A and B are shown apart, each in its own frame.
Chain A
Amino acid sequence: AQSVTQPDIHITVSEGASLELRCNYSYGATPYLFWYVQSPGQGLQLLLKYFSGDTLVQGIKGFEAEFKRSQSSFNLRKPSVHWSDAAEYFCAVGAYGNKLVFGAGTILRVKS
């Protein structure tokens, strides 16, 4: 069965510092991978997705993620964090055409 692990429940970074959020997945075939962001009281917004091809994926708001098949990982990165990036981030794996399986999320706090 598909599963997603986000090892860090909370992460705190200083504004302007770099960020990496970890995601590990379990899936038998080639995975379709996603990162979503959720601000308080808001729905989920797609940051980026990986289906095939280049393993470094660029997304919105300056985020990128790298797919590493050997490590079953899809970590999210941003070179310089802004206070407005404070939110909860979810990694998800999807089977083509059907549901998404989400991780438990990582709450990002940004120190000024």
Chain B
Amino acid sequence: DTGVSQNPRHKITKRGQNVTFRCDPISEHNRLYWYRQTLGQGPEFLTYFQNEAQLEKSRLLSDRFSAERPKGSFSTLEIQRTEQGDSAMYLCASSSSGIGPNTEAFFGQGTRLTVV
């Protein structure tokens, strides 16, 4: 297992276009998290899944954002009608259970989105 994989690594899109990112978590990790990181800031929580159920969504996740995790494996994050303010690094993380003394969230390398 090579860790959390995110594709694409970079995406440049025109304002108003839709984009979709994919995250493949570590095998058998039932928790999957999405974060957004803008320049000069730490990652900000967007949403998380336990298996296929989306359990929490941040108010940062506007109606233009949707995340899915069909069958509890990989996840996709779609942004519709992109805006320049959506330009950021989108990070995915997975863990074997909720964050606790014996678990750890493993992060992917991220997808960098640039909206022009």
Chain A residues within 8 Å of B, Cβ to Cβ: 4, 9, 32, 36, 41-46, 49, 51-52, 90, 92, 94, 96-105
B107 touches A101 (CB 8 A): no
Q: Which B65-116 residues sit within 8 Å CB-CB of chain A?
A: 91, 93, 97-101, 104-105, 107-110
B114 to chain A, nearest CB (A): 15
A97 touches B4 (CB 8 A): no
Chain A neighbourhood of B56, CB < 8 A: 98-99
B21 to chain A, nearest CB (A): 14
A108 to chain B, nearest CB (A): 15
Given A43-B110, A96-B98, CB of A102 within 8 Å of CB of B42:
yes
Q: How large is the interface on B (under 10, 10 to 19, 20 to 34, 35 or more residues)?
A: 20 to 34
B104 touches A46 (CB 8 A): yes
A102 touches B43 (CB 8 A): yes
B33 at the interface (CB under 8 A from A): yes
A44 touches B99 (CB 8 A): no
A52 touches B101 (CB 8 A): yes
Given A41-B109, A43-B4, CB of A98 within 8 Å of CB of B104:
no
B104 touches A44 (CB 8 A): no
Chain A neighbourhood of B42, CB < 8 A: 4, 90, 92, 102-105
Extra pairs beyond A43-B91, A98-B98 (17, CB < 8 Å): A32-B100, A36-B107, A43-B107, A43-B109, A44-B107, A49-B101, A96-B98, A97-B99, A97-B100, A99-B48, A99-B56, A99-B58, A100-B35, A101-B45, A103-B42, A104-B42, A105-B40
